[in-house]
Amino acid sequence: MTLKAVLFDFDGTLVDSEALHYHSWCKVLAPYGIGYSEATFCDEFSGVPTLESAAILAKRHQLPRSAEALTDEKNRYFIETAKTMVPNLMPGAKTVLAQLQGQVRLALVTGSSKAEAMPVLQHYGLLDYFETIVCKEDVTAPKPHPAPYLQALARMQLSAEQAVAIEDSGTGLQSALAAELRTIVIPNAHSKDQNFNGAWYRAVHLEDAVKTLLALAK
């Protein structure tokens, strides 16, 4: 293969943001007397788009609000929480981005909104690594639909054969595969039992993923 670009997922792949999502949902659900442990919640909803999570929760608990309203509230809480609780980078995140910079083109493809993703990227000085960033507002359909990855490829004027995606969840893998991208998955503690059939390679961590990617791309 002729590798031209690596397309990174954000939440769970480069940034350990599950705790922020969990605490934001806790605030949404608290008025209804609903509570989940962090492990239980994240194991179920890791990688699941916020609107889909909201629809599941609204139906399960018969909440008197629409999934859209719950999503808007959760996103507001996330932005507020992120001001005082910056998520940690995944181990090796900045190292691998620096390693790849100049060798291949880099893009970020996330289901997060700009308001959620940009402050974290700015905090860690990651913005300059990416040629393009596709956020939730940039597409009409989120992962697992291929639209986010197709948007990134279109902006970079590349074919799927020229790029590889790096994901941590089954939802993200479905999106990348639907866009016909070779995909390396890095399961985390919450996504390890998800369906990763079709992945090009299953890595242990980011540095393993990039090392293998560069070896296979030679």
Q: Measured between alpha carbons, how far is residue 195 from residues 120, 155, 171, 172, 198 in Å? A: 28, 29, 9, 11, 9
User: Which of 63, 82, 101 is the endpoint of a domain?
Assistant: 82
What is the number of domains present in the chain? 2
Give the CATH number of the domain where residue 49 resides.
1.10.150
Are 67 and 94 contained in the same domain? no
**143 vs 146: CA distance, rounded Å:** 6
Are 34 and 78 contained in the same domain? yes
Are 126 and 177 contained in the same domain? yes
Q: Which long-range contacts (CB under 8 A, 24 or more apart) does 179-183 make?
A: 179/146, 179/149, 179/150, 179/153, 181/7, 181/149, 182/1
Residue range(s) defining the domain that contains residue 73: 18-82
Are 67 and 107 contained in the same domain? no
Share of the chain above pLDDT 70, in %: 98
* Structure confidence by residue, pLDDT tens digits, 30-52: 999 999 998 899 888 887 888 89
**98 vs 126: CA distance, rounded Å:** 10
**63 vs 10: CA distance, rounded Å:** 30
Are 94 and 166 contained in the same domain? yes
pTM of the complete model? 0.85
**Chain-wide mean pLDDT for the chain?**
91
**37 vs 60: CA distance, rounded Å:** 16
Give the CATH number of the domain where residue 155 resides.
3.40.50.1000
Average pLDDT over residues 18-29: 90
pLDDT at 190: 81
pLDDT at 69: 95
**42 vs 189: CA distance, rounded Å:** 9
